[in-house]
Amino acid sequence: MRFTEGYWLRRESVQASYASQAYTVEEIPGGMRVMAPERPITSRADALDLTVLTVDFVSAGHNDISVTVTHFAGLAENEARIPLSLSPDPVKVRVNEKEAIMTAGDMLVRVRRDSWLVSFEAEGRVLTTCGFRNLGYMRVDRQPASYRPDGHYLAADYEPYMSSELSMKPGETIYGFGERFTPFVKNGQSVTMWNEDGGTASDVSYKNIPFYMSSEGYGLFADHTGPISFEVGTEKVEYVGLAVPGEQLRYHLIYGRKPADILRTYTGLTGRPALPPAWSFGLWLSTSFKPLYDEETTGRMIGGMEERDIPTRVFHFDCYWMKALHWCDFEWDGSVFGNVEEMLARYHEKGLKICCWVNPYVAQNTAMFREGLDNGYFLKRKDGRGIRQVDNWQPGLAVIDMTNPGARAWYADKIKGLLAQGVDAIKTDFGERIPVDVAYYDGSDPVSMHNYYPYLYNRLVFETLKEVRGEGEAVLFARSATAGCQQFPVHWGGDCSATYASMAETLRAGLSFAMSGFAFWSHDISGFESTATPDLYKRWFQFGIFSTHSRLHGSDTYRVPWVFDEEACEVARKFSKLKNRLMPYIFRMAAIAHEAGTPVMRPMIFEFPEDVGCRYLDMQYMFGDSLLVAPIFNDRGTASFYLPEGTWKNLLDDSILPGGKWYTRTFDYFHMPVYVRENTLLPVGRHDDVPDYDYASGVILHYYLPTEGGKARAEIPDMTGRSVLFAEAACRNGEVSVVVTGQTGGRPIRFLIHYADGRVEERRV
């Protein structure tokens, strides 16, 4: 939200009260409190008839400073709040006439007393500042107050906003804000936190996360669920501005030497991602949305993948497992499916897991609707005249009230019924179209509940899966999200189109999502809307396999590869098997994500923050800490990619290139830029048919491009993510050594050394 017209002038509809002085400073538990009047107080008379902002600086976690700015403290807003885990650093506060200084961990907050200037510092370096006209209380469309009873007696009528701005340095770049399809670097963008079903080709997002990271080594989390507005070098080009409606603004400023440190603290605050089951990393095959399907069709699709030797681990039933106009009543369409339990049991015997589509809306012409209506389980109209209904998506649609304990238990029982039939995973679609003209069971503010609803919805389904299937077996395929939803993986990128441009915007969104604390992410391979050309299908399949989760799904047509051409089957076979072989490495990266919040798909700036050449890269990424992936975004097979300093070897064709340079290369459909960085110990598994197996048994250790004095380490996990095999390699005086400890499943380990001159040396460990 913008309150100014140019730098000097405010909008005529805005009355602003800016912090102008740190009049008093007092120590409070965990930090300090500053009283900041809108004009300097130099005498007793100055302390009358003015707006004062109360600003609390408190340690919330290691290198995490919580800032709370309050105008009126007595307003009960019933705002939905994201659950936070606080683990503050010890704090020291020093106050003198000139400044107040608070230290906590590696951070320091310095507040100038005579005029308003706050400096956030870390290890002797200024991260960002908030100074002249950067912190304010805004009265928008103010109606004058009156001392007469026929007006606004004593208090004016207006829309209140809290606004803060933090400085940016020359060359500083900003990332994050959730899954956003706009340019990866957010400088120059206005970003509003408001979840909507907008597809992938606009600035509307399914997953708005009020968190951003700066190239200057800090992150900011705005602790609100309502429609926060960010102005990233727009309203004032030297600042990131944020504004929230109401009487209080809350944010956390988090410092880290590396982006991984920032995300470790942020996900410690808002929740670490669960570790998805290993089987979920295999290929998912969907019925797609609109095509007709029945038990014969699904059997034919599954059989076709088997006949062509394309490893498939999950089969997904999309919307039409239920009758048309009956979504979402959890009743299988008996006209096309016979004995559901027997059908799913047969698919399980084939080695498949089963996923089903659901959403939190219920159509009127169903028994489930009548049951929910009778028990008061739906969102109610604000005027008290029954429940809130629309004809959007389904006729007479009602939305389940996730704040009602009875409604939550009822919905969980519906999920449990599916699981009892043999379903293993749930696609939690929608959750964005949540009305604000409603009343909630617990009295929550409906505007803040709009973005918070996906948290309650996805948490309920995830915890139900965990309860029934056990720890480590729960996995969603979710579309909507807010901060904290990273705890309930996996999320997918929504309704993209079958074009290279849409493929690129999908990747941009995934990289922004990764910079926002989400570790596991997927997308509809070859695009959801329309049907891809065979060329695009094969290129997008490559990209999809080098994502944490890989799903074939679309709107109008089936996405089985033989629909496109026979070569697509060969590409699908090769890359699906390759991912299964790479699972010892991928699942260890997943375990690190679970332990520390580090994403598996990492933007280049995340892994190489000191390399300025990586700051704007959004068409390539690191897959874990060792593999660089550059998908191909054109029908010429040409890729332009940047390799950071060091030496890199292509995983697929063994070409070796020096880093610190840009390259342009052309690849056939069986190759692409997937480069292994030097001094990488890459474990490769012995199975290519499934993603879940004993990774330590028969693993092959590839030591890529050892350098003199270089070291490499690999940890091989079991199915719980616990490391059971440890390997260390080193190069000294031209000699390579390796030490392996742990259980190998009784099989010898092959150790392959890939030298920079192209030689490959094999040893047994």
Residues marked as catalytic: 429, 432, 495
Q: Are strands 661-666 and 656-658 parallel, antiparallel or unpaired?
A: unpaired
Encoded tokens for 174: 């900003």
Tell me how crowded residue 57 is: count the other CB atoms within 10 A of its CB.
25
Cα separation of 270 and 484, whole Å? 5
Phi first, then psi, for residue 619 (nearest 5°) are: -120, 15
Whether the CA torsion 524, 529, 531, 532 is positive or negative: it is negative
Helix (H, G, I), strand (E, B) or coil at 418: helix
* Bond prior to 130 in cis (omega within 30° of 0): no
Helix (H, G, I), strand (E, B) or coil at 149: coil
User: Which of 331, 327, 354, 330 is CA-nearest to residue 342?
Assistant: 354
- Calculate Rg over the CA atoms of the chain: 28
Q: Are strands 700-704 and 750-754 parallel, antiparallel or unpaired?
A: parallel
**Distance in Å from the first CA to the final CA of the chain:** 62
Encoded tokens for 746: 């009784």
Does residue 507 contact residue 621 with C-beta atoms inside 8 Å? Answer: yes
Encoded tokens for 92: 């020291």
Cα separation of 38 and 116, whole Å? 10
Burial class (CB in 10 A: 0-12, 13-18, 19+), 339: exposed
Question: DSSP string covering 15-27, please?
Answer: EEEE-----EEEE
Ramachandran quadrant class, 438 (left: phi over 0; alpha: psi -120 to 50; beta: rest): beta
Cα 503 off chain centre by: 18
Phi first, then psi, for residue 699 (nearest 5°) are: -65, 145
Helix (H, G, I), strand (E, B) or coil at 667: coil
Does residue 538 contact residue 621 with C-beta atoms inside 8 Å? Answer: no
Alpha helices in 426-563 (DSSP H): 446-469, 500-514, 534-545
Cα separation of 396 and 439, whole Å? 18
Q: Are strands 157-167 and 647-650 parallel, antiparallel or unpaired?
A: unpaired
E runs forming strands in 271-424: 283-286, 314-317, 353-358, 361-362, 380-381, 389-390, 397-399
Tell me how crowded residue 707 is: count the other CB atoms within 10 A of its CB.
13
Under DSSP, the state recorded for 612 is: G
Cα separation of 583 and 589, whole Å? 9
- Half-sphere exposure at residue 131, Cβ-oriented, CA atoms within 13 angstroms: 15
User: Which of 212, 209, 215, 218 is CA-nearest to residue 254?
Assistant: 218
Cα separation of 36 and 131, whole Å? 12
Does residue 26 contact residue 100 with C-beta atoms inside 8 Å? Answer: no
Tell me how crowded residue 187 is: count the other CB atoms within 10 A of its CB.
16
Tell me the residue length of the chain. Answer: 765
